[in-house]
Amino acid sequence: MLDENYGAHMNPESYRKQQLKNLMNWTIECISHSDIITIFDIRRETQLDKKILSALLKGDKMSFQNQLFLAMLWDRVELVEDKIMAKDTLNTMSNLHDIMLQALLMERVHFIELLVMNGFVMRTFLTVERLRMLYNEAVSKEKERKTNR
């Protein structure tokens, strides 16, 4: 099968067997990691961003906080509920202040609700310094919006 499909692209004849062997080894290596492979039909997929993010979140190398942050950046709260929260819970992660701060600055209401509903404590998060910073950012964004009109 490999010879039929890729044989014409593998020239000259002296390298052909080695190239086929390398291609076969590479294919076997990919298949050995089938737990992190995502397959979809790009012509029929309507939510390509969701598939790409799901593929990124499949691996175990990314920390819970990084997965949560990435899903927040892509504004995909449903993936947090379906994939990330299934692996870990917010109660086991004590320091989600950076993620909450970014969610507030990016106005990701659903992520803020998700964090609060799963045990995030606003009392320890909202210091005077953070409130001042959030206020200044909000004023700055509003000025920017007015000048861009």
Domain ranges of the chain: 2-32, 48-147
| pLDDT band at 118; cut points 50, 70, 90 | confident
Q: Indicate the residue type of 10.
A: M
Does residue 121 contact residue 89 with C-beta atoms inside 8 Å?
no
Mean residue pLDDT across the chain: 80
**Could you give the CA distance from residue 146 to residue 149 in angstroms, rounded to a whole number?**
5
Read off the pLDDT of each residue in 132-148 and give the average, rounded to a whole number.
91
Nearest-10 crossing angle of helices 109-117, 97-105: 150
Read off the pLDDT of each residue in 23-45 and give the average, rounded to a whole number.
80
Read off the pLDDT of each residue in 31-39 and give the average, rounded to a whole number.
75
| pLDDT band at 87; cut points 50, 70, 90 | low
Rounded to two decimals, the pTM is 0.64
Could you give the percent of the chain with pLDDT greater than 90?
A: 19
Say if residue 59's pLDDT is above 80.
Answer: no
- Range picked from 7-16, 32-41, 98-107 for highest mean pLDDT: 98-107
- The residues, any chain, with a CB within 8 Å of residue 103's CB and separated by 6 or more, are 72, 111, 112, 115
Q: What is the pLDDT of residue 21?
A: 87
H or E element at residue 27 = helix 13-31
- The residues, any chain, with a CB within 8 Å of residue 54's CB and separated by 6 or more, are 38, 79, 83
* Phi, psi (deg, nearest 5) at residue 88: -145, 165
Could you give the percent of the chain with pLDDT greater than 70?
A: 79
